Chains A and B, each alone.
Chain A
């Protein structure tokens, strides 16, 4: 098997051009899917028999929560690739992920809280999933804080990359300990949103929204990656050619 495609991904000019060419595809795909999903979720799907129209926030909440984990995983994988093969571009990817992931996590917390105020009658419930999500936000903030504290880019890349890898080992431990903690301290009276038997009219828009959010993340990542590469390579000669082209 030829590895040239992998080696080419180590070259900032190549990745910069690739990101520029791919961004519109992901962005338009994301826009299209999000429109379809929102129409399906907010208009076509029937109201829930118990939660009425309130359940519809799931079409933003669940994909945000899903993305918050997926972005963290992407960040950790990119950081590991950067640490192992010393690829500058991989570190740039990891650095670009952090803000996007923190935003998705924040969106998941806010929408979960909005849903909670209607369903549970309180803005915040120490529900295991909400708590894990909050801790995930702290992990993102720690990652960003460490990056911001180290001035030298290469050192910041490697130190924060190691933190991301350590964090990804800990995420399952934290999650299960929180679930375990919650099952001991709180009666399982909380109404659960995840129903195993969701009718297709509700489920299909959710899946479309999941795909749409994934494409949205890809588009945002590529845009941020280009900015990150431009910032890192600002003294390189190819930048002028790329910007003039």
Chain B
């Protein structure tokens, strides 16, 4: 079991322990390193802007499917709007998950991270944060336009808030399953099979908050539950994702 890391370690860093000690000597390395990873991921993403638009386009297309499939009547669409928005957001977030670790796993960056002596959980949290900034936040920002097209014109602030907080949870849950499916060929369906059951609470609370917001009712209770899930996710998901990355790299 220990053969893989010990075989890989000498070729990269002769003494990982020494690296760790010198890292701590420089002071607050975990947060600094995490901030650098965040900046790096954002920079890389902005060099390929085209890919950033894909989840958004997917979200827009899925939202378009419903008027075509159900009915163009705005009164009927308004009723199903929260569900439509949330299913579309969930699927778009799921689609974007494949890009979360894939490139870094291919070119060995993740391996370097895990050997760097830095806390892998912090680095993965930074990567997940970058992923949310690039997919979850834009989704939340275009959600009001999709809502408007479904005949919803009230409570758009609630729509943005619930999608923004909900996609934080989705990115965090997704980071675990994306890390678990690293290195598996054609992992798309498996990734959905692992992620969707775990994200059902997010869907329930998110759709509920959106529905209440659209109806003009107070929506803070489901939004706070969603935020509680996000806090739980920030606390635990990076640890699980780090363990999963280590398993996948073995």
User: Which residues from chain B contact A155 at a C-beta distance below 8 Å?
Assistant: 247-248, 250
User: Does chain A have a CB within 8 A of B176?
Assistant: yes
| Total inter-chain residue pairs, C-beta < 8 Å | 72
- When C-beta atoms are compared, the residue in chain B nearest to A148 turns out to be B190
| Known A86-B1, A145-B193, A159-B247; contact A177-B200, beta-carbon cutoff 8 A | yes
Q: Is the CB of B197 within 8 A of A149?
A: no
- Residue with the highest number of chain B CB atoms closer than 10 Å, among A165, A173, A184: A173
Q: How many residues of A contact B (CB 8 A)?
A: 29
Q: Is the CB of B236 within 8 A of A169?
A: yes
How many angstroms between the C-alpha atoms of A83 and B187 in the bound complex? 23
**Chain A's nearest CB lies how many Å from the CB of B113?**
18
| Known A146-B194, A162-B240, A162-B244; contact A154-B1, beta-carbon cutoff 8 A | yes
How many angstroms between the C-alpha atoms of A184 and B225 in the bound complex? 15
Q: Is the CB of A138 within 8 A of B197?
A: yes
User: Does chain B have a CB within 8 A of A123?
Assistant: no
User: Does chain B have a CB within 8 A of A163?
Assistant: yes
| Known A154-B1, A159-B244, A159-B247; contact A146-B190, beta-carbon cutoff 8 A | yes
How many angstroms between the C-alpha atoms of A165 and B198 in the bound complex? 12
User: Does chain B have a CB within 8 A of A25?
Assistant: no
A-B contact pairs, 8 of them (CB 8 A): A138-B196, A146-B180, A146-B194, A149-B187, A150-B184, A155-B248, A159-B247, A170-B201
Chain B residues with CB under 8 Å of chain A are: 1, 176-177, 180-181, 184, 187, 190, 193-194, 196-198, 200-201, 204-205, 208, 225, 229, 236, 240, 243-244, 247-248, 250
Chain A residues with CB under 8 Å of chain B are: 83, 86, 135, 138-139, 141-142, 145-146, 149-150, 154-155, 158-159, 162-163, 165-167, 169-170, 173-174, 177-178, 180-181, 184
